[in-house]
Amino acid sequence: MPSYYIHMDQGIAADLRNYSLCSGQFSNCAPIVMYNAHRHEGALYHLAGCKQLDQLKIGHINALITVVGPTVAYVLQGVEDIVFGPATGHVDPVTAIFQHANIPVHRGFNGRSSFSSITVCEANGRLDIQARLDTSTKLNTKMAIDALPADVAFIGEDRDQALAVWL
């Protein structure tokens, strides 16, 4: 299964039956996961550490909500947030975005709330969030954005046009 890697302030959406989504280096950054259980589509957003959300980050999250139509969201934390307390100020504001859209939101997955790296996929027809990188077929989207298939959406670094086919 192809695996796509994203960096800070980037997001990616795809059918999780066909692709896995991953990112790493979460210290005071945060992984935000969205999942639509009916369409098997998911998104991963690498929210850069911040004291408050700016309009760019809010716009990215809202665009991914529009693309995926999540039936559930996971607002997770980087490892420094757990060790030193919430350094980023993302948990409550991002949770509020999902709640405003009437999307159930969780702050952990299978008892885990902090991640230093993450892989999001579907296993046995269910969402699977793993605290590791899938490096078997890692594609660095920062350098290979033009190589993304049409059924994988990317947002970030002024490349929002990649979402146009989905919106």
Q: How many domains does the chain have?
A: 1
Q: Which two tokens stand for residue 89?
A: 């100020």
C-alpha 138: how far from its chain's center?
Answer: 16
The pTM for the full model equals: 0.86
CA–CA distance from 25 to each of 22, 31, 131 (Å)? Answer: 11, 10, 11
pLDDT at 142: 59
Specify whether the CB–CB gap between 32 and 76 falls below 8 A. Answer: yes
Q: Which two tokens stand for residue 51?
A: 């004291």
Q: What is the Cα–Cα distance from 134 to 138, expressed in whole angstroms?
A: 7
pLDDT at 148: 77
Q: Which residue has 């269910």 as its token pair? A: 126
The whole domain housing 126 covers 3-163
Digitized pLDDT (tens) for each residue of the chain, 167 residues in all: 888 888 888 999 999 999 999 998 887 788 999 999 999 999 999 988 776 788 888 999 999 999 999 999 999 887 665 555 554 567 788 999 999 999 999 988 888 788 888 999 999 999 999 988 876 666 656 555 667 788 888 887 654 444 444 44
Query: Could you tell me the CATH number of the domain that includes residue 98?
Result: 3.30.1330
